[in-house]
Chains A and B, each alone.
Chain A
Amino acid sequence: MKALKEPMTFVQGWRFLTIGALLYLWIAHEAKTGSYLLILLLLVLASLRWRFGRLPVWTAFADAAVCLAFVPFSDIGVYGLALPIFEFALKGKWAVSLLFFAGLLVPSLPSSLLFWLYVQAFLFGAFACTALGHQRDYKREADEQRKARQELERIRLELLEANRAVSRQAELMERHRISRQLHDHLGHDLTGASLALQAYEYVSDPAEARELLREVGNRLERSTTRLREAVHNMTPVTPIGADSLAYIARNFRHAGIADIRFRQSGDMQRVAPHMWELLEACLKEALTNIVRHSNASEAEVELQASETIVRLRIGDNGTVHPGDLSGSGIRGLQMRARALGGSLSRGWDNGFTLVCVLPLEQGGGIDETADSRR
């Protein structure tokens, strides 16, 4: 059935049908053995076109030459001129095609039959030329779109890789900043306090010993204050990671769903920062779909991190099957999940369920360089 949608099938069919018609004319009216060669020669040319696809336009002159060579001996030659008319019209050489209408000048043949044979050959060729031209354009356009999509996919993968590298770099820089801050603000005071305590054992003057202890106390108090300040300054204001997911789930409660339960288990430190972006996007998409398409009153969000994977499941208690929800949102998320080596699936068996599973790298979000330094 697929072949029937191809314009080329009709073109090939027309050629063989015309040769069949010539054969019928030959059997019914002529039956001269010699002119059967004409039909066979035309059949050879039609077979070549069928076998090798599009032959160059000049090959239509071969059809014309064969037919014209037989015109003095056989009427089939005149009828056969319908084939070059069709071939030239098919190639868009309509002026050349019309030249062969001169076959109508042969007086011995019924001119009306010949005229309509030529006209249908010309029109069919012209229509086929247009249809094949459109098909070529569509194919070219589809090829260009496919190429553009592949290019986009490549760029997207590069961006994902860059994102991963940037997050790793940011993590390293943050560690470096924290270590420098601890060194600058706490290191001196704690070292001073430690030295003072060691010196305390050798001091014999009680007044001097009290002074030393007071100094140690001051230094420890200052260190504690600076440590508290450093930790306070380093703690992010906006929620990140699992907290961010919990925050999103909380904020969706007042958007129509009465209750959203959020549960998490496992070591969330193993999840790389760039994965949180995708998990957040999945959660938002799922909750938006629930609000827009489902009649659910409750929803549940489960986040589990194991040794090898992180799994996010969002489910509701809705009873309405919203049909196909494979819009660009879900599709885009599926592609992103695949790019990270994971998967995203959805179902409507017991309410709407969306599950995103991502593989965790060995070492997870913790940088390996930390271990190698030890």
Chain B
Amino acid sequence: MTIFHFALKRSFGNRANLLFLTLFPIACIFLPSGEGWPFLPYGYQYFGIFILFASIRLAAIMLEDRAKGVVKRLAVAPVSHLRYISQNLLAYLCIMVVQCAVVVIGGLLYGQQLYQPAWLMLLYISFSAASLAVALAWISLYRNKEISFLVFMPIVFLVAILGGIMMPVDIFPEGLRRLAVVFPTYWLAKGLDWIAFGESIGPFLLVNGVLWLYAVVFVIMGSARKIE
């Protein structure tokens, strides 16, 4: 698990990263609730956007590895690419899980109305996995960390809007409403709605299943070894 430990240390090694990964989740706890929509407090509704940004920031470390030739050196070391990818992703997922726990437990302690906190935690973890996979696939398209991040930013906002995180999809025209389903953010928004009003567990499990399937698809797509 050397790569795992090293990935954890590197994630917090950078001061900007440290602030980004710790302060933002804490800030989410204290955001107020909306009137009517969203059904959860704003911080919990928008936490999905933060997860997407945190994922690309963490995954960019692997892009840096590729640019610095670490992946090339690993190719000749007795470490498989699968182990490198899986231990890195596991480390990043652990960080995300801790953030999710901080947000959910912090909200409970602060007294936010979270309806079903355990399921909310599960939903955030599922979305974190999907989001990390998307980030992995995204960085596989780029050679430069900054450019990948800059292009990713507007896309995150677009996906967040179209997916129904920033505004309800019901206000969109029919075509966009149907198209929204292809974005992982749609399933997060759907899951958040279920947290507030859901009764039967089936739809919630479907949401989580879809998010994990997204994770699998994007991990497969992003796991190709690219040596520069």
Contacts and interface: CB of A to CB of B under 8 A. Distances in A.
| A and B form one complex | yes
Interface in B170-228: 178-179, 181-182, 203, 206, 209-210, 213-214, 216-217, 220-221, 223-224
Counting chain B CB atoms within 10 Å of each CB, the highest count among A37, A40, A41, A44 belongs to A40
Interface stretch (A28-36, A82-90, A150-158, A278-286): A28-36
Interface of A: 23, 27-28, 31, 33-34, 36-37, 40-41, 43-44, 47-48, 50-51
A40 B217 contact: yes
A15 to B, nearest CB: 13
B210 A37 contact: yes
A33 B206 contact: yes
A23 B182 contact: yes
Contact of B214 (A33, A34, A40): A40
Contacts of B179: 27
Contact of A31 (B178, B213, B217): B178
A51 B217 contact: no
- Residues of B in contact with A, size category: 10 to 19
B84 to A, nearest CB: 16
B90 to A, nearest CB: 19
Nearest to B175: A27
Nearest to A31: B178
Nearest to B178: A27
Nearest to A33: B206
A270 to B, nearest CB: 46
Q: Is the interface of B mostly helix, strand, loop or mixed?
A: helix
A34 B206 contact: yes
Contacts of B178: 27-28, 31
Contacts of A28: 178
Contacts of A41: 213
Given A31-B178, A37-B209, A41-B213, 10 more contacts: A23-B182, A27-B179, A31-B181, A36-B181, A37-B206, A37-B213, A40-B217, A47-B217, A48-B220, A51-B223
A34 B203 CA distance: 9
Contact of B221 (A31, A34, A50): A50
Nearest to A46: B217
A33 B221 CA distance: 24
A12 B19 CA distance: 42
A65 B178 CA distance: 27
Given A27-B178, A31-B178, A31-B181, A47 B221 contact: yes
Contacts of A36: 181, 210
A48 B210 CA distance: 17
A199 to B, nearest CB: 84
Interface string B95-128: 0000000000000000000000000000000000
A27 B220 contact: no
Contact of A47 (B181, B182, B210, B220): B220
Ranked nearest first, the 9 interchain pairs of A and B with the lowest CB-CB distance are A40-B213, A47-B220, A27-B178, A51-B220, A47-B217, A43-B217, A44-B216, A44-B217, A31-B178
Contacts of B224: 51
A31 B176 CA distance: 12
19 contacts: A27-B181, A28-B178, A31-B178, A33-B181, A34-B206, A36-B181, A36-B210, A37-B209, A37-B213, A40-B214, A40-B217, A41-B213, A43-B213, A43-B217, A44-B213, A44-B217, A47-B216, A47-B217, A51-B224
A37 B212 CA distance: 11
B182 A44 contact: no
A48 B221 CA distance: 8
A44 B206 contact: no
Nearest to B222: A51
A200 to B, nearest CB: 85
Given A23-B182, A27-B178, A33-B203, A40 B210 contact: yes
Contacts of B223: 51
A237 to B, nearest CB: 62
Contacts of A37: 206, 209-210, 213
A62 to B, nearest CB: 14
